[in-house]
Amino acid sequence: MPVTVGFNRRFDSSHQQLRRQLEQGLIGRVELVQMVCRASSMPPLDYLRSSGGQMRDQATHFFDLLRFLTGDEVRTVAAMARRWPCRTLPNLAMSTPPS
């Protein structure tokens, strides 16, 4: 019985086309990938309290997309995040670079 998890980005037609081009050697070997995830505005506090925000909600989708496109496992991850300066959430910690 086939089973799938809700990693929907791999079903996007542009991602499937990119995968075919990579498999056919039309693009070359993937050496480094940089992905950016941004929210266009401050999400509601209820969303942040229940989800943990973009990083926690979206990161697994990006990792799955990388695995789908390359056929490889992700070896190294570096992440950077910023908190919205106008609000704070208890029990949410993110390491941020010095300003």
Do residues 69 and 22 make contact, with C-beta atoms less than 8 angstroms apart?
Answer: yes
DSSP tally for the chain: helices H, then strands E: 3, 0
Query: Could you report the per-residue pLDDT of 28-40, keeping only the tens digit for each?
Result: 888 888 887 766 6
Query: Could you report the per-residue pLDDT of 1-14, keeping only the tens digit for each?
Result: 776 667 888 999 99
Task: Determine the pLDDT at residue 37.
Answer: 72
Task: Determine the pLDDT at residue 65.
Answer: 92
Longest dimension (CA), the chain: 51
Q: What are the domain boundaries of the chain?
A: 8-70
User: Which amino acid is present at 35?
Assistant: M
Highest mean pLDDT: which range of 59-63, 64-68, 78-82: 64-68
